[in-house]
Amino acid sequence: MKKRGEIEVQFNWILVLVAGAVLFLFFFGIINWAKQSNEESSSTTISTYFDSILTASAVKEETLNQVTIPAKQITFTCNGYRVNNAASLQNIRNKIIFAPTRIEGAELITWSASWNVPFRVTNFLMVTSPNIRYILRGSSGDLLFEEIQDIFPAELQLDVNPPTIEDENNYKVRFLYANQGVDDADVAPFKKYSAEDITALTITGATIDESLALTFHAKKPVGDPISGWASPVESSTSFARGSLLGALFTEDPEHYVCAMNKGLSRLNNIAQLYKQRSEELKAYYFSLSSFCESPHFNALTTLDAIAATDMNTLAGLSGHSFDLISENQNARSGSCALIY
C-alpha cells in the first residue's frame, strides 16, 4: 500500500508554515516601517510646533507662555535643539535662546525679554521648565537682590533665602547668589545628582540695568569625597536686563557666551543703522540751521563705540548707553527727532 497520504499531509503543513512565516515577516516589516515613519513625523510635527512658539515669542515683547509639548525631553545647544533624542538637531535659525542643557517633561515655560542697550536690539528667549528649582540667596536691602526677585516670573519655582535646603526631587536645581559667594553647604543634599544638574551663578554689581560680573559654577562630580562647588567654570559679564535674565537660565557658560555673541552681532548691525539714521538727520537739521543737529552729531561717536562692543568690552556699554540716553533726552527737550 502506498503511503503517499502521510507524506502529502506533511508537505501541506510545511507549505502552511512557510506561507505563515512569509505573511508574518511581511506584516512585521510593514508595522515596523510605519512605526518609524510615524515617530519621525511626530518628531517633525513637535519641532514645527515648538518652532512656531519660539518665533511667536521672539516677535512679541515681554511675553511669557506656558506650553505643553508632547515630548519627554528637549536638549538645547546655542544653535539648536533636539526633541526626544532625535537624530537631527533642529536649527533655531536667528533666534537667541537661553535655556538649560536639558528640559525634561512636557511642560515648558518660554519667556521673551528685549535687550535694550539703550535702544532695542533683539528679543532674548528664555526657555525653562517648571520642574527646575531656582534658589536665590542675597541680602535684603541689596538692590540687585530685590530686583532679581522682581523680574523672576511667578510661574517658576523660586526659593528666596531658604533657611534649610532639602532635596525636593527636582531633576535640576540652580542657585543664584546676588552679591555673595557660593556656599558649599547648599550642595550637600544633592550629592547623588550629576554636576550638570546642580549649578550656580554668582552675580556681582549694583543694579540689573548696569554691567554685572557673572561667575558660572557647577557642583563637584558624583563620587568626589568632598561635596561642594567645583572651581569656577567661567567668568563673564552681562549688561542690561535681557542678558542677566539669559544668564539666570543658562547653566552652560559656553552657551551663554555663544548666545551673547549672536546678540552682539545684531547690536553691531543695529548701532550702524542708527548711526546712518543720525547722519541723515544731522545733515537735514544742518540744512535748516537747527539746534537739533547737535544731539545727532554727538551721538555718532557713541554709536560707533557701541557698534564695536564685544564680550571683552561689554562692561563698557554701561557708559556708552548713559551717553546715548543723555543725547536722546537733549533731542526730546528740543522737540527734535529722537536718536532712537
Partner 1 sequence: MASKKAQIQMMETIAILFIFFIIVTIAIIFYFNIAKANTAEKIDTFQELSKIQIAQLASTLPELQCAQENIIRANCVDLLKLKASSKQIPQPILPGPRLIFSNSNDYFDLFSFSNITVKQIYPSGAQEWTIYNKQPLEYQSKRLTFLPLSLYDPKLETYSFALMVVEVYT
Q: Which residues bind partner 1 (CB under 8 A)?
A: 4-5, 8, 11-12, 15-16, 19, 26, 30, 48, 52, 55, 58-59, 61, 91, 93-94, 114, 116, 118-122, 266, 269-270, 272-273, 276-277, 280-281, 284, 328, 332, 337-338, 340
Q: Which of residues 122 and 238 has its CB atom nearest to partner 1 in the complex?
A: 122
Closer residue to partner 1 (CB): 102 or 266: 266
Q: Return the number of the residue (79 or 204) whose C-beta is nearest partner 1.
A: 79
The residue among 326, 331, 334, 269 whose CA lies nearest residue 302 is: 326
**CA–CA distance, 32 with 154 (Å, rounded to integer):** 45
Nearer to partner 1 among residue 30 and residue 213 (C-beta): 30
In sequence order, the 6+-apart residues with CB closer than 8 A to the CB of 73 are 83, 84, 85, 102, 103, 104
Task: Of 109, 112, 100, 128, give the one whose Cα is nearest residue 68.
Answer: 109
Name which of 191 and 266 has its Cβ closer to partner 1.
Answer: 266
* Cβ at position 106, least distance to partner 1 in Å: 22
What CA–CA distance (Å, rounded) separates 177 from 161? 10
- Output the smallest distance, CB 77 to partner 1, in A: 15
The nearest distance, CB 69 to partner 1, in angstroms, is 17
Q: Which is nearer to partner 1, 91 or 139 (CB)?
A: 91
What is the nearest approach in angstroms of partner 1 to the Cβ of residue 118? 7
CA distances from 151 to 65, 154, 175, 189, 318 (A): 15, 9, 16, 28, 20
Instruction: Give least dist CB 269 to partner 1, A.
Output: 6
* Min separation Cβ 15 and partner 1, Å: 7
Given a contact cutoff of 8 angstroms between Cβ atoms, the answer to whether 106 and 117 are in contact is: no
**Least Å from the CB of residue 40 to partner 1:** 12
Least CB distance from residue 280 to partner 1, whole Å? Answer: 6
Distance of alpha carbon 89 from the chain centroid: 16
Residue closer to partner 1 (CB basis): 58 or 218: 58
Q: Contact 102/128 with Cβ under 8 angstroms? A: no
CB of 102 to partner 1, least distance (A): 24
Closer to partner 1 by Cβ: residue 53 or 230: 53
Nearer to partner 1, 221 or 291 (CB): 291
Helices and strands of the chain, counted as H and E runs: 6, 14
Contact of 141 with 113, CB cutoff 8 Å: no
Contact (Cβ atoms closer than 8 angstroms) between residue 337 and residue 295: no
Apex CA 252: angle with CA 250 and CA 255, to 5°? 80
Instruction: State the residue for C-alpha cell 546715548.
Output: 324
- The CA-atom distances, in angstroms, between 37 and each of 32, 33, 34, 42 are 9, 6, 5, 9
Distances in Å between the Cα of 90 and the Cα atoms of 77, 84, 190 are: 10, 12, 32
3-state helix, strand, coil split of the chain in percent (to 5) is 45, 25, 30
